[in-house]
Amino acid sequence: MKVDDYLNECDSYSKKAVFVFGKTNGGIGDLTKFFTYLLQMCITHKIRLYYLLTGDPIDKYLKLDDRFYTNKYENELYLQSITHLPFMIDHVMYVVSPQTMYAVDDIFNCITIPLSELFHFSDEVLNRAAPYLGHYESVHLRLGDKFLETDRHYVLVHDDERRYDEAKLFAFIQERNVFFFCDNKSYKQSLKDRFNIQITDFDIAHSSFINTTDAQLIDGLAEFYLLSKSTHIYKASYSGYSIMASKFYNCPISDL
């Protein structure tokens, strides 16, 4: 079922759920992953799904259809496991958090709805990305929170370091004219100085940090959008950010 078809009929459903994504629940990849997977489950089991607006700035720049949004909920119960979803009580609003779905095996491969049917970017994000659009393959390297260029007081996982093969990365980008994306601006620039690659000058910060500014959030979403518009994404390290970007328009993605 298409997302729009679901929205046209879901108000008639007797079972209801609201997705609550807290500031510290993760980044752009986590938000899109958990909500899309939950929506697919709700479509299958005929459950009316809402998205709780919490005042998080990301909701101004990565948008859903207004019919998903709610500012409050009543008579709530907390869903303890996604496996309990089909057995919810009628006419009771169940709260579903990302933790409810942590145990789902291979959740990325379970997601089949193109994100472009569900999410859209604000004009601020599209305008920021526009000068960089073109025909390109991309390489994405997530170094991890340990290497984010921000005040360490706000970093949630100080030892988050993603493994990658730098020799393989260098050999790959030396042979191709690629668009290189990374969560560390200094590392990006060092590779730009050494190899024939394209980069942005964006200031990337994690969307789940409370010190992340709106401008940094727009930059992070603009890179996500630019990744999604690649002809092919090569990921040099594990990251849900690039995996979910590939699912926006069903862009091919491969490990480097």
Q: Can you tell me the distance from the alpha carbon of 77 to that of 216, in angstroms, rounded to the nearest whole number?
A: 35
Q: Which of 119, 133, 150, 121 is nearest to 218 (CA)?
A: 121
Which of 93, 121, 149 represents a domain boundary (last residue)? Answer: 121
Q: Check pLDDT > 80 for residue 154.
A: no
* Residue 222 shares a structural domain with residue 236: yes
Task: Say whether 18 sits in a helix, a strand or coil.
Answer: strand
Q: Can you tell me the distance from the alpha carbon of 230 to that of 138, in angstroms, rounded to the nearest whole number?
A: 6
* Residue 166 shares a structural domain with residue 228: yes
Boundaries of domain holding 206? 124-255
* Residue 131 shares a structural domain with residue 230: yes
* Residue 130 shares a structural domain with residue 251: yes
Q: Look-up: residue for tokens 């980044």?
A: 27
| pLDDT at site 183 | 83
With contact defined as beta carbons under 8 Å apart, do 187 and 169 qualify?
no
* Residue 160 shares a structural domain with residue 78: no
* Residue 139 shares a structural domain with residue 43: no
* Residue 67 shares a structural domain with residue 107: yes
* Residue 106 shares a structural domain with residue 164: no
* Residue 47 shares a structural domain with residue 154: no
Which of 121, 142, 157 represents a domain boundary (last residue)? Answer: 121
Which of 60, 94, 121 represents a domain boundary (last residue)? Answer: 121
Over residues 241-256, the pLDDT tens digits come to 999 999 999 999 999 9
Q: Can you tell me the distance from the alpha carbon of 137 to that of 256, in angstroms, rounded to the nearest whole number?
A: 12
Number of domains in the chain: 2
Q: Check pLDDT > 80 for residue 84.
A: yes
CATH label of the domain that carries residue 244: 3.40.50
* Residue 137 shares a structural domain with residue 78: no
Q: Quickly count helices (H) and strands (E) in the chain.
A: 9, 11
| pLDDT at site 141 | 94
Range in 61-70, 99-108, 152-161 the model is least confident about: 152-161
Residue 131: count of CB within 10 angstroms of its CB:
8
* Residue 115 shares a structural domain with residue 216: no
Strands 62-63 and 47-52, by their bridges, are unpaired
What does pLDDT average to over the chain?
90
For residues 182 and 229, the model is more confident at 229
pTM: 0.91
* Residue 249 shares a structural domain with residue 134: yes
